[in-house]
Homo-oligomer: A and B are copies of this chain.
Amino acid sequence: MAIPTPGQPVRGSRSGAPIMALFDLLGRRWGMGILWHLSQGPCSFRELQQRCETISPTILNRRLKELREALFIERCDKGYCLTPLGSDLQKLLVPLGAFSRTWAEVLPHEEASS
């Protein structure tokens, strides 16, 4: 499972359009979630695992490797943290948080129906 790289063929673009490489990387399960949770501050592997609530260590470790290779995340004394580049990316994700709340209101609610 090679890490998607701009310029190389990736899912969504044989020519490796950067946006498609990014989508491929972030579109892997937990990709965006890890960036999101890590933006709350640096933390250890196990702490991150708990922030994600239900991620398995196998996949956390794999995503961590990929995101490190992509230069979004790096090791630090506290465990893991975002790089400046990763932080830039995370900031672009923030508006999605606001959007998602609007979305949640618009969507037909599926309360535990009586």
Contacts and interface: CB of A to CB of B under 8 A. Distances in A.
Contacts of A89: 96, 99, 103
A32 B27 contact: yes
Contacts of A8: 110
Contact of A53 (B13, B28, B30, B96): B13
Interface of A: 5-8, 11-14, 18-23, 26-33, 36, 52-55, 70-71, 85, 88-89, 92, 95-97, 99-101, 103-104, 106-107, 109-111
Given A27-B28, A32-B23, A111 B7 contact: yes
A5 B111 CA distance: 10
Contact of A20 (B6, B14, B33, B109): B33
Contacts of A109: 7
